[in-house]
Amino acid sequence: MEIKRITTPMDEDTVSRLRSGDKVLLSGHIYTARDTAHKRFMEALREGRPLPIDVKGQLIYYCGPTPPAPGRVIGAAGPTTSSRMDAYAPTLLALGLKGMIGKGKRSEAVKEAIGLHKAVYFGATGGAGALLAKSVRSYDIVAYGDLGPEAVARLLVEDLPLFVINDVYGNDLYEMGLSRYRAA
């Protein structure tokens, strides 16, 4: 299978070329944010305040990296369970977010929002945080520093290995895998 190389920021053309099951090497800037940061995003929006980052064309990695070892940019940088952000994802997708990176299945509402807003959900390999961290070239906290490892950070990544789980066409790699298994 061909490996697709993509860079951020992403646009609809890039997203429309991705299909569930594609192997991807992602380079460019992405943001980290987990549960508490997402809750703060929603509070800001409810109060009429801007988000601390412009999500348009961007990707959010559901990751709370560990502290780096001496001489390293970042510690382990593995994905967290994406379903914990399902309540917030449709709102961010409506604001122009083009992708999310995590692990695990997404809700029907998130999958519908992915199609509606021309976005993508990537899967990163769970349990491989040390390996994934090797793709991180820089790590800068940009918001909610009081959250420690769950602060919003801007990462520069090079060839971050991912799989397309949910594409704009309504495909779901997890469901495709189950169908193939049942057929066998």
Displacement of CA 181 from its chain's centroid (Å):
27
User: What pLDDT is attached to residue 6?
Assistant: 97
Q: How far apart are CA 178 and CA 134, in angstroms?
A: 31
3-class DSSP assignment, residue 171: coil
Q: How far apart are CA 43 and CA 72, in angstroms?
A: 34
Q: Is the pLDDT of residue 181 over 60?
A: no
pLDDT tens-digit map of 126-167:
889 999 999 999 999 999 999 999 999 999 999 999 999 999
Domain boundaries, the chain: 3-183
User: What pLDDT is attached to residue 180?
Assistant: 67
Kindly list the distances between the CA atom of residue 108 and the CA atoms of 84, 98, 105, 149, 177, in Å, as whole numbers in the listed order: 14, 17, 9, 29, 17
Provide the pLDDT confidence category of residue 69 given band limits of 50, 70 and 90: confident
User: What pLDDT is attached to residue 184?
Assistant: 66
Statement: 3-183 belongs to CATH 3.90.1720.10: no
